[in-house]
Chain A
């Protein structure tokens, strides 16, 4: 079974530029998450989708971050304009259904590493 795919793996941009990250979840997984992990910290949820609808985007900096999952499969996370503090790993994850419980594992991709200079 293929895992969660993310691209690009690494990106270096200057501040005020824009960047987009792509995620393809595990086939059949209805729930998709984007997490931000800053060096030395644990992953922090940015946005959660259930199929193509947003469940939780309370911690997404909406003035510069946007995300979509138009057809309920792939998702894109965009940052525009980027700031130095956006340097982090952006992790996409998916689970079969919504909810945290035994048997509904959240699977993470390898992450997209962003450096803003």
Chain B
């Protein structure tokens, strides 16, 4: 029973263009959503989050959009940079437990 799904295991984007990473969830009780970024041999690091009462949150080059009716959220990175190349995990919570997706590997090429 996978409550948080990232259906695209990988994404390749040219430097300077927009990267869009998608995430779907099944539990309508989730009230907080987060994106984590993970480099090889390192632990995940928090990137950006959004509460279920909002539909957009922006932090510099990173914007997270939430569509509650579709149970879908997305992370936009504009402009993409080579240093953004990493695995991105979507996570959701309705208590104090985080449920992670399987991750999307983003590669930004010159």
Q: Is the interface of B mostly helix, strand, loop or mixed?
A: strand
Chain A 13-39 interface residues, beta-carbon cutoff 8 Å to B: 31
B49 contacts A by Cβ under 8 Å: yes
CA distance A93 to B34 in the complex (A): 15
B32 contacts A by Cβ under 8 Å: yes
Q: Do residues A43 and B102 form an inter-chain contact, with CB atoms below 8 A?
A: no
Q: Do residues A102 and B97 form an inter-chain contact, with CB atoms below 8 A?
A: no
| B38-46, B61-69, B72-80: which lies at the interface | B38-46
Q: Do residues A111 and B98 form an inter-chain contact, with CB atoms below 8 A?
A: no
Q: Do residues B97 and A110 form an inter-chain contact, with CB atoms below 8 A?
A: no
Per-residue CB proximity of A26-64 to B under 8 Å, as 1/0? 000001000000001111110010000001100000000
Nearest neighbor of A6 in chain B, beta-carbon distance? B43
CA distance A84 to B4 in the complex (A): 26
Number of interface residues of B (CB under 8 A): 23
Partner of A107 from B32, B46, B93 at Cβ < 8 Å = B46
Nearest neighbor of B90 in chain A, beta-carbon distance? A42
CA distance A106 to B96 in the complex (A): 11
Chain B residue contacts of A114, Cβ below 8 A = none
Q: Do residues B44 and A91 form an inter-chain contact, with CB atoms below 8 A?
A: yes
CA distance A23 to B52 in the complex (A): 32
Q: Do residues A43 and B100 form an inter-chain contact, with CB atoms below 8 A?
A: yes
Determine how close the nearest CB of chain B comes to the CB of A7; give it in whole angstroms: 13
CA distance A41 to B100 in the complex (A): 9
Q: Do residues A98 and B103 form an inter-chain contact, with CB atoms below 8 A?
A: no
Chain A residue contacts of B32, Cβ below 8 A = 100-101
Per-residue CB proximity of A73-87 to B under 8 Å, as 1/0? 000000000000000
Partner of A42 from B45, B97, B101 at Cβ < 8 Å = B101
Nearest neighbor of B39 in chain A, beta-carbon distance? A110
| 16 residue pairs bridging A and B, Cβ less than 8 Å apart | A41-B103, A42-B100, A42-B101, A45-B97, A45-B98, A48-B97, A56-B97, A91-B44, A93-B43, A100-B96, A102-B49, A108-B36, A108-B45, A110-B41, A110-B42, A111-B41
